[in-house]
Chains A and B, each alone.
Chain A
Amino acid sequence: MRGTDTARGRLAVVALALAACGDGSTPPPSPAAAVGLTAVASVDVPANYGIHDAFVRDGLAFVCAWNTGVIIYDVGNGVVGGTPGAPREVGRIVTDPGNTGGARAHNAWWFHNPNSSQRRYLFVGQEGPGQLGASASGDIHVVDVSNLAAPMEVASYRMSGTSLPAGTHNFWMDEAAEILYAAYYNGGVVALDVSGTLQGDLASRELARIRPGGDSTYVWGVQRHAGSVYATDMLSGLFQLRFTGTSFTIAAAGDGLTSDRFASDLWVHGDYAYTGTWGSRVSAGNVVNVWRLDDNGRPDHLGELALDNVGTVGDVEVSADGAVLLLATERGPAAGLYLYSLADPERPAPLASVMFPEGVHTATLADIGGRRYAFAAKNPPAPALLIYELTR
């Protein structure tokens, strides 16, 4: 056996209260007042490799469990009576079933189309073999989740025309415009038209693509925000892009920060952006870079938030109200889940952390039933979906 299922996480709540929030006035109501992490559930998933990412919306968690595929849990939606404290499986699907290498389900986005009111499509990213910094593999798979209990793959997209194979990574969607933005590692960023009915090969839906770092392109994440598209390139840093509908242009290029560290995930909220760092370049990936966006959306580097005894900050997310910053970290004795207050968005203040030596690959926030929860992907050897309530 390769480990135990006992909770090795050490709950290390650093209750700084809301002093960090600043002005001494009555704190806003929950969930913005959350300051701690209280474990409410741990859902084991097959160690096949385990969970890479989860997308939580409307009380449903779409858990990307690598070769096990995508598992859909009711975590408060009510469709099968699940709650955050007692998730219940609704359905599952192994995407790309013909692939002998397996589904390699990595990330997902459940598309709520405001124009048609449809909630039919789940976009699933597949992360195949890759040589970091150079090549990648894996396609975008589109799953019809009209029947959550029996999801069905209906379409896919494979990037072609690259000098070395390219594969997808994280997504962002402009739902009103019905455009999916996908980070594509050495393929850069691609925009796909996902309007109407999706079926078969979506190659003709490609609107544009860009390799923002030129020959030094390896894009981890992408996010649309306030009319711009932001992308983190592991090799070349943070970029502000403009998308015209048929082409991308670079509005602002990443600065030299990445000569020291590889960039990882990003999150942009309001006038600020936060970017993680990965692995080991000259220095370890143990910092979060903090950026302020100027009037044109151009990011200016303000400083960095360092985490001791951590080697990768692989996932970064700001809550919908901008109150907290959630980090998933790996590689190091202090790896785990970290929560920061953004009362001062230029200086995140620690609120709580939960440590797991094996690391937490990704984490995401969701508000369910008036409460805020963090969903975290604990790494093998005993992978699990960990659910924490953000509590006072």
Chain B
Amino acid sequence: MTGRPRHPPGLVAVVAALATAAPAAAQRPPVHVAATAVAAVTRMDPAPGGDARTDFALDLTTLMARAALAGGRVTLAATVSLEGATIPGGVLTPGAVGEGFVDRRHPHTYLHEMVATVRQPLDERGTGELAVTVGKGFVAFGSDDPMNRPVLRYPVNHHWAQVLERAVVIAGARRGAVSLEASLFNGDEPERPWQAPNLSRFGDSWALRGTVRVGPLLELQASHAQVVSPEHRGGAGPRAAKWSGSARLDRPLRAGRVYGLVEWARTVEGGFFRFDALLLESELRLGPHRPYYRFERTERPEEERTADPFRTRRPPTDDAILGITRWTVHTLGFAVRLPAVRGLRVEPMVEVARAGVAAVGPGLFRPEVFYGSDVIWSLTLGIRLAAGQPHRMGRYGVLDADPGSERHEGH
């Protein structure tokens, strides 16, 4: 063991950031800063092993900054995640899978995103532009990161519908409402919060994303990616072929906003396993009230777990799985925003989810045996704290927008 500090520094940093982010945000462009954290208690019933489990977590602890320079032609965006300190063992999330965690959403890497983008308009009217983005961050693939969306608990499809925390170069072109982005990146996912992308593998994976903005409210995207060995850092694992399509509506109302997302995603691993995901979510913001709902039906692999029933072996030793399960999850939530105090927004929230789990085809994994039930309930009570204006992560270059011009307040 090292003497690496655990929770207290993460807590201290979050509190300090929340206290300072609001005044800084008030300084206005060219720099936006923001900080978020959610203190929440989650009960999962049953948890792996058959018993109920209740955990407290300081979740989504992030610090964000975005700066526009040279008249907006150069932008810098950075997001620091403190989850490695606040939720080193992940956070209870029925159905979550990825980076060696199961039924717990993994902590993100400390340097979640740090990219620089250069944009070049194609004409003076701004109807077209080119952009190049370099850094560590989101690959131009799929839909928005769940951290930018209404529901606190991550969807099961996170690793099917987003590709993140990679060393990436993105070239983008936009003509009118149509954008095309091409990404080169390293295929390996992080194995732990302080791990950097494996730069020796940069360029072994690629992605293409096309986006059409239909008016100011509706955004359609379709993506394809070829990701080499995402789960084995050395590159010994199978290739993942990924597809994603989504439609996102974000419409201001007189007294609030309505938001909706429909997405479909598919990942085929090694040409052998296929995992499909369908997700619909919506949010209605009326004054301080924010009810939301999400439905998803996502297939996930079941791997052999270690002695810790929430973990699978990383690195893996072969390409076999125990089976495939389909998670049908309804999540209903409600949050109320209290009056801000010196720019600090406080939002108590409650979220309940019902997950039905079924085995897809044959295999050794039987969810009703492993969990003791094929229905898993979870309840989360929490307080969301936020300050400043977060940017929309993963939308760089030709999809970037002044964060002040859109409403995406760092869910």
Chain A interface residues toward B at CB < 8 A: 2, 46-50, 52, 66-67, 100-102, 104, 106, 127-137, 164-165, 262, 279-281, 311, 331-333, 361, 379-381
B190-236 interface with A by 8 A CB criterion: 191, 232-236
Q: Given that A2-B191, A133-B364, A134-B363 are contacting pairs, would A127 and B318 also be in contact in the complex, using a CB cutoff of 8 Å?
A: yes
B225 to chain A, nearest CB (A): 16
**Residues in chain A near residue B401, CB distance under 8 A:** none
| Contacting pair A49 B318 (CB below 8 A) | yes
Cα-based distance from A331 to B307 in the complex (angstroms)? 7
| Contacting pair A129 B270 (CB below 8 A) | yes
| Contacting pair A381 B315 (CB below 8 A) | yes
B291-340 interface with A by 8 A CB criterion: 304-307, 315-324
B256 to chain A, nearest CB (A): 47
Cα-based distance from A204 to B361 in the complex (angstroms)? 32
**Residues in chain B near residue A104, CB distance under 8 A:** 318-319
What string of 1s and 0s marks CB contacts (under 8 Å) between B362-380 and chain A? 1110000000000000000
**Residues in chain A near residue B237, CB distance under 8 A:** 49
What string of 1s and 0s marks CB contacts (under 8 Å) between B225-263 and chain A? 000000011111111000000000000000000000000
Q: Given that A101-B270, A127-B318, A132-B321 are contacting pairs, would A49 and B362 also be in contact in the complex, using a CB cutoff of 8 Å?
A: no
Please give me the residue from chain B that is nearest to A1 by CB atom. Answer: B195
Query: Which residue of B307, B317, B319, B323 contacts A50 across the interface (Cβ within 8 Å)?
Result: B317
B35-93 interface with A by 8 A CB criterion: none
Count, chain B residues at interface, CB 8 A: 32
Query: Which residue of B273, B315, B323 contacts A49 across the interface (Cβ within 8 Å)?
Result: B315
Cα-based distance from A368 to B316 in the complex (angstroms)? 33
B201 to chain A, nearest CB (A): 13
**Residues in chain B near residue A46, CB distance under 8 A:** 234
Provide the main secondary structure of the chain A interface: loop
**Residues in chain A near residue B321, CB distance under 8 A:** 129-132
A303 to chain B, nearest CB (A): 26
Please give me the residue from chain B that is nearest to A130 by CB atom. Answer: B320
| Contacting pair B317 A131 (CB below 8 A) | no
Query: Which residue of B236, B273, B317, B322 contacts A129 across the interface (Cβ within 8 Å)?
Result: B273
Cα-based distance from A135 to B236 in the complex (angstroms)? 21
**Residues in chain A near residue B347, CB distance under 8 A:** none
**Residues in chain A near residue B238, CB distance under 8 A:** 101, 129
A150 to chain B, nearest CB (A): 24
Q: Given that A47-B315, A381-B315 are contacting pairs, would A129 and B307 also be in contact in the complex, using a CB cutoff of 8 Å?
A: no
A206 to chain B, nearest CB (A): 23
Cα-based distance from A151 to B239 in the complex (angstroms)? 28
Cα-based distance from A141 to B182 in the complex (angstroms)? 39
In the complex, the 6 A-B pairs of residues with the closest C-beta atoms, listed nearest first: A134-B362, A129-B272, A133-B364, A129-B319, A48-B236, A129-B270
Q: Say yes or no: is B99 at the interface (Cβ < 8 Å to chain A).
A: no
**Residues in chain A near residue B272, CB distance under 8 A:** 128-130, 137, 165
Cα-based distance from A49 to B232 in the complex (angstroms)? 8
**Residues in chain A near residue B319, CB distance under 8 A:** 101, 104, 127-130
Listed A/B pairs (15) with beta-carbon separation below 8 Å:
A2-B191, A48-B235, A48-B236, A49-B237, A49-B315, A50-B317, A129-B320, A131-B322, A133-B362, A133-B363, A134-B364, A135-B362, A279-B322, A279-B364, A381-B315
A336 to chain B, nearest CB (A): 14
A274 to chain B, nearest CB (A): 23
| Contacting pair B318 A333 (CB below 8 A) | no
| Contacting pair B304 A279 (CB below 8 A) | yes
**Residues in chain A near residue B113, CB distance under 8 A:** none
Among A130, A279, A311, A331, find the residue whose CB has the most chain B CB atoms closer than 10 A.
Answer: A130
| Contacting pair B323 A129 (CB below 8 A) | no
Please give me the residue from chain A that is nearest to B320 by CB atom. Answer: A130
| Contacting pair A380 B315 (CB below 8 A) | yes
Query: Which residue of A136, A164, A379 contacts B317 across the interface (Cβ within 8 Å)?
Result: A379
| Contacting pair A2 B315 (CB below 8 A) | yes
| Contacting pair A66 B236 (CB below 8 A) | yes
Q: Say yes or no: is B269 at the interface (Cβ < 8 Å to chain A).
A: yes
**Residues in chain A near residue B232, CB distance under 8 A:** 49
**Residues in chain A near residue B363, CB distance under 8 A:** 131-134
Beyond known contacts A102-B236, A130-B319: 12 more, CB 8 A cutoff: A2-B233, A47-B234, A48-B235, A49-B232, A129-B273, A130-B272, A132-B320, A133-B323, A133-B362, A133-B363, A279-B304, A361-B317
Q: Given that A129-B238, A131-B324, A133-B364 are contacting pairs, would A49 and B316 also be in contact in the complex, using a CB cutoff of 8 Å?
A: yes
Query: Which residue of A48, A129, A281 contacts B234 across the interface (Cβ within 8 Å)?
Result: A48
| Contacting pair A332 B364 (CB below 8 A) | no
B72 to chain A, nearest CB (A): 40
